[in-house]
Amino acid sequence: MTSTEQAGATSAGSAATGAGSLPVVLGGAPGPAVAPERWPRPAGREMELLEQVVRSGIWGFDGPLEAEFEREFAAYTGAGYGLAVSNGTVALQLALEALDVGAGDEVIVPGVTWQATAAAALDINAVPVLADIEPGTYCIDPAEVERLITPRTRAIIVVHLYGSLADMDRIGEIGARHGIPVIEDCAHAHGSRWRDRGAGSWGTLGCFSFQLFKTLTAGEGGFVTTSDPALREAVYSLRNCGRRRPGAPDENWRPIQSGNYRSTEFQAAVLLAQLDVFDDQASQRDRNVARLEASLAELPGVAPMDAPPQRTRISPYEFAFKFREHEWDGVPAAAFRAALEAELGVEVDTINEPLNAAPLYQPHTKRRYRTSDAYWAAVDPARFELPAARAAYAEGVTLPHKVLLDDDAIPVVSDAIARLHEHRHALARWHSGGLRGVAPPGQHSGGLRGVAPPGQHSGGLRGVAPPGQH
Ligand SMILES: Cc1ncc(COP(=O)(O)O)c(C=O)c1O
């Protein structure tokens, strides 16, 4: 232990303002929490538009605000058409069904994503085929996609995650060459652009979530984009019990069995209000991703994600970077995440667990999927090897997007990482139990800023969030 560390370990209280001061988990005083403003944030017009809806008596589907939001958000992404649906999971399911993907068909999905991407394929009796990811972007690896294509492959779903976009040049080329449609899961990428064109306009269809924590939200909600007029009619019918969209031309419509996956005017009202400020927020996130990535590239012990030049604008739901464990002299990633969370007072987490080992992706727990022994075996996630995904899960560190909406947070994050690296030897001992309990719990305000060593740490708020609040 250095003399500074020794002093800090016994007398907590130095202000955590610079790289030299003591980390909070070692007894240092917390600085002001970053990004203190809660999410979601009212933009301004929500109450006015909600009152308009209440008074209009048009509370359900096919209302004027829904039509306005559909036009505006589709245009914002660069796609020809947009359809509001109940949530992002359903958006993916309906996109697959619009493409007539069904029982036994294979759908290639990335091995790292929220479980909904694969579950959407499972719920239409298709076979989710898990592809490994690119280590530089944590998005689906085009070479893996190519390797996994079989005569039964009917769709490829890419997911834009963690400050990265899937390589739409290569995936688009592979899809076109094999005649396989590409669906973009844009739940983490509203307002992001590849070659200056919006996420959601590159694939045959794009899918968005407006769930509570997303960068554009109405509490719950989803959206499907497409520029294909026949797919537009198919998604409309699929979301609305098979009904034909009023005004759908004969040549683009066919009857299709379906249920109710509609959205409402209340969600459209909130989304329209949120859209007023969304582009400014997306620009701010983009600027702050660039600032943060530039700092991370200079700091010891961490590295930013790759930033290919085609990623012309990035407005992520979660921002990821890499923890380089071999530069930390015995501090594992879990201890780093816990210590950084204590520094910043915001959730610092892992990336999603790879789907071949994810607790919430368990096809074998539902009898509905036991349509045959062959299908049961095909949907077993454990049959896929995902070494890059496993490595990314071990090293990846994520921050919530609200950090990117606080310009002042960027140097605070960099300083905190530098401080932790400077005190890495004491942190390693803290992790292994040597310094447990040196800081009286009462000295730590800031909610999340506990001092429990990482073994007792729940892995950020994710572990304690109410079910479904991912
Ligand atoms: C990558 C991804 N896809 C799909 C979804 C599903 O969206 P929803 O929660 O609106 O059903 C999510 C939600 O978190 C997601 O993160």
The answer to whether the beta carbons of residues 16 and 33 sit under 8 Å apart is no
The answer to whether the beta carbons of residues 77 and 123 sit under 8 Å apart is no
Residue 444 confidence (pLDDT) above 60: no
Q: Given 1.10.260.40, 3.40.640.10, 3.10.180.10, 3.40.50.720, which CATH number is that of 46-273? A: 3.40.640.10
What pLDDT is attached to residue 20?
61
Superfamily for domain range 3-39+278-353+393-463: Aspartate Aminotransferase, domain 1 (3.90.1150.10)
What DSSP line would sit under 363-411, residue for residue? GGG-GGG-S-HHHHHHT-GGG---HHHHHHHHHEEEEEGGGGG-TTHHH
What is the CA(113)–ligand 1 centre distance, in A? 9
What is the CA(361)–ligand 1 centre distance, in A? 13
Q: What is the mean pLDDT of residues 11-19?
A: 40
* Residue in 211, 212, 271, 355 to alter for ligand 1 test, most ligand atoms within 8 A of Cβ: 211
Residue 253 confidence (pLDDT) above 70: yes
- 361-411 per-position pLDDT tens digit: 999 999 999 999 999 999 999 999 999 999 999 999 999 999 999 999 999
| Catalytic pick among 214, 322, 366, 402 | 214
Q: What is the mean pLDDT of residues 253-267?
A: 97
What is the CA(193)–ligand 1 centre distance, in A? 19
What pLDDT is attached to residue 393?
98
Terminal CA-to-CA distance of the chain, rounded, Å? 39
What is the CA(188)–ligand 1 centre distance, in A? 8
Residue with tokens 């509609």: 262
The answer to whether the beta carbons of residues 351 and 398 sit under 8 Å apart is yes
Please give the number of the atom of ligand 1 that sits closest to the Cα of 113.
1
Q: What is the mean pLDDT of residues 21-46?
A: 93
Q: Of 146-150, 265-269, 414-418, 457-461, which range is least confident?
A: 457-461
- Write out residues with Cβ below 6 Å of ligand 1: 87-89, 113-114, 116-117, 159, 185, 187-188, 209, 211, 222, 470
Can you give the residue ranges of every domain in the chain? 3-39+278-353+393-463, 46-273
* pLDDT mean across residues, the chain: 90
- 177-227 per-position pLDDT tens digit: 999 999 999 999 999 999 999 999 999 999 999 999 999 999 999 999 999
The answer to whether the beta carbons of residues 185 and 178 sit under 8 Å apart is no
Say how far apart CA 133 and CA 165 lie, in whole Å. Answer: 12
What pLDDT is attached to residue 33?
84
Q: Of 89-93, 216-220, 317-321, 464-468, which range is least confident?
A: 464-468
User: Percentage of the chain with pLDDT > 70?
Assistant: 88
The answer to whether residue 214 is catalytic is yes
What pLDDT is attached to residue 32?
83
